[in-house]
Amino acid sequence: MRKTEEFLRKIAFNIRRDRELDLNRRGFIASTLSLMGVFFVSSTPLIALSGNREEEAHESEVFIANTDDIKIGESFGFSYPDENDPALVIRLSENEYRAYNIKCTHLMCPVFWEPEEGHLECPCHHGFFNVDDGSVIAGPPQRALPSIDLKIKNNKIYAVGISQAQH
Ligand code: FES
């Protein structure tokens, strides 16, 4: 081991000990600047992406209908977040609405609003869902209907997001 160290010292003949500290400082500064550059370059797409996410969130705001288009107790069909996701908004009172993706969580049959009973119903195997939160009341479904978040602005109803309840 000692012989190896001596050999290495001999072959390192052009390293000036008096400049070693200076080189280390320069090396440290250069490394730091390089790392900052790498960090900046690698984070730029993330910064751009976060900007896009805000735009996407804004873009995912989808107009459904005017409030006047849906009478109290009635439902209105739309698609959200895209055309392959059928959904219903139900007007429960003057200012109270609920919206759900209507693919039954059992085997994906379309669920419909049953105003007489006040619940959502799947005709395929008689699954029933609570209109207040989309939870299962009865039947084979094991999961609640995904709930669509709504925003009402200037008498217009918008879908602004979707969430899956845990029951
Ligand atoms: S598909 Fe809805 S209960 Fe079976």
What confidence tens digit (pLDDT) does each residue in 72-105 have?
999 999 999 999 999 999 999 999 999 999 999 9
| Strongest mean pLDDT among 37-41, 46-50, 97-101 | 97-101
What confidence tens digit (pLDDT) does each residue in 112-136 have?
999 999 999 999 999 999 999 999 9
Q: Can you tell me whether residue 117 is helix, strand or coil? A: coil
Task: Give the residue-averaged pLDDT of 42-67.
Answer: 60
Closest CA to 78 of 53, 97, 58: 97
pLDDT of residue 60: 78
Instruction: Please list the residues that pair with 133 across neighbouring strands.
Output: none
160: Cβ below 6 Å to ligand 1? no
State which H helix or E strand residue 5 sits in: helix 2-11
User: Which ligand 1 atom is the nearest neighbour of the CA of 125?
Assistant: 3
Q: Can you tell me whether residue 97 is helix, strand or coil? A: strand
Chain centroid, CA 40 distance in Å: 26
Ligand 1: residue of 125, 129, 136 to mutate (most ligand atoms within 8 A of CB) is: 125
Q: Please give the Cα distance from 119 to 37 (Å, whole number).
A: 58
Q: Does the domain made of 62-163 have the CATH classification 2.102.10.10? A: yes
Ligand 1: residue of 105, 109, 119, 121 to mutate (most ligand atoms within 8 A of CB) is: 109
Domain boundary assignment for the chain: 2-58, 62-163
Q: Please give the Cα distance from 93 to 76 (Å, whole number).
A: 14
Sign for the pseudo-dihedral over CA of 74, 78, 79, 80: negative
Q: Please give the Cα distance from 134 to 98 (Å, whole number).
A: 9
Q: Report how many helices (DSSP H) and strands (DSSP E) the chain contains, helices first.
A: 2, 10
Instruction: Please list the residues that pair with 101 across neighbouring strands.
Output: 87
